[in-house]
Amino acid sequence: MKTDLSPRMKTALYGLMCVLLIPFVFPTWWMITSSVKPISDIFAFPPDLWPRRFDFSTYAQVFELQPFARQYWNSAYIAALVTGGTMVISSMAGYAFARIKFPFSNAIFMVVLLGLLIPSEVTIVPLFQIFLGWGMINTHWPLILVPIFGAPSVFATFVMRQFFIALPVELEEAARVDGLGRFKIFWTIALPLAKPALGAVAIFTFLHSWNLYLEPIVFLSSTQMFTLPQALTQFTDAYGGAMWNIQLAAATMTAIPVLLVFIVAQKQFVEGLAHTGLKG
C-alpha cells in the first residue's frame, strides 16, 4: 500500500525488524550451540555465542540415558496417525456439512461445534476413567483416539466446511447429472480441489499432536511409552537438577527436523494457514 518509502525509512524498518527478531531466533541458536558445550562451559561468563570447546558426546548420552529412539518413534507415529486420521474424518464431515442436505444437519453441526467450547483439559478426568475402563492406560490409544475423534478434530472439520462452502458447486453438479454417487464425487472431484485446506489441516494437526504434553503425562507411565515432550523433561541428575547440555541436545533433535521441513516448505505452510478457512 506504500510504495514511496524513503531510503532512511527503509533502513529504520529493517533495523526495527532485526531487533524484533532476536527473541524469535536467538533461543533456537542458543539451544543448538549450548547442546555441544561441555557442562563446565554451559553457564560460562561472559556467555559464549559460539562454543569455545565442543563436546558432541551429549548427543550419545541422550540415547544412553533414555530409550530416546523409541520415544522419537512414538511421537512420530502417533503424530502421523493422528494427522492422517483427522484429515479423513474432518474432510468427510466438513464436506457433508457444507454440501449434502440431510435432516438435522444444522443441529448436528451445532453439537459438533460444542467440541470447540470444551477443550480436552476440561474432560481429562473422565477420559482417564474411560481409558482405564478400556484397559488403555499406559498405551498410546488415548493420544490417538481423542485427537482424531474428539475436540481437536472439530476445528479441522470447521476449516474443511468453510473451504467446501466457498468452492463452486458447478463441477459437482455436472457429475451428479452423470449419475455419480456422493462418495465418488467427494473422492474424485471435491477432495483433490481441497488440497490447500487439507494441507493446513495437516500442519496444525501434526503440530498439535507433536506438542501434546498434559495427555501423555496423565496417560503414560513407562519411559518406553513416553512421547518426546515428556521425555525432554526427564534428563535430570540424581538430585532432580536438569542436565542442561544433554536436555538441550535432545531438544535440538526434537526441534530441528520439523524446522527444516518448515523452511523448505515455508510458502505452503504460511500461505496454506493464512488463506484457508479461518476467514469465515
Residues in 258-277 at the binding interface with other proteins, rule: CB under 8 A: 258-259, 261-263, 266-267, 269-270, 273-275
Decide: is 154 part of the binding site for other proteins (CB under 8 A): yes
For other proteins, the closer CB: 57 or 130: 130
Tell which residue, 106, 215, 91, has the closest CA to residue 158: 91
CA 70 to chain centre: 20
Nearest distance from C-beta of residue 3 to other proteins, angstroms:
6
Block residue for cell numbers 496417560: 219
For other proteins, the closer CB: 151 or 167: 151
Number of residues in contact with other proteins under rule CB under 8 A: 102
Q: What residues numbered 160-189 form the site for other proteins, per CB under 8 A? A: 181-183, 186
Q: What residues numbered 63-82 form the site for other proteins, per CB under 8 A? A: none
Nearest distance from C-beta of residue 56 to other proteins, angstroms:
19
Q: What residues numbered 188-227 form the site for other proteins, per CB under 8 A? A: 207, 210-211, 213-214, 217-218
Decide: is 28 part of the binding site for other proteins (CB under 8 A): yes
Tell which one of 6, 7, 8, 17 touches other proteins (CB under 8 A): 17
CA atoms 244, 250, 256, 258: torsion sign: negative
Decide: is 34 part of the binding site for other proteins (CB under 8 A): yes
Nearest distance from C-beta of residue 212 to other proteins, angstroms:
9
Cα gap 232→247, rounded to integer Å: 6
Tell which residue, 259, 279, 266, 155, has the closest CA to residue 205: 155
Decide: is 121 part of the binding site for other proteins (CB under 8 A): yes
Cα gap 230→29, rounded to integer Å: 22
Burial class from Cβ neighbours inside 10 Å (0-12, 13-18, 19+) for residue 232 reads buried
Cα gap 210→188, rounded to integer Å: 31
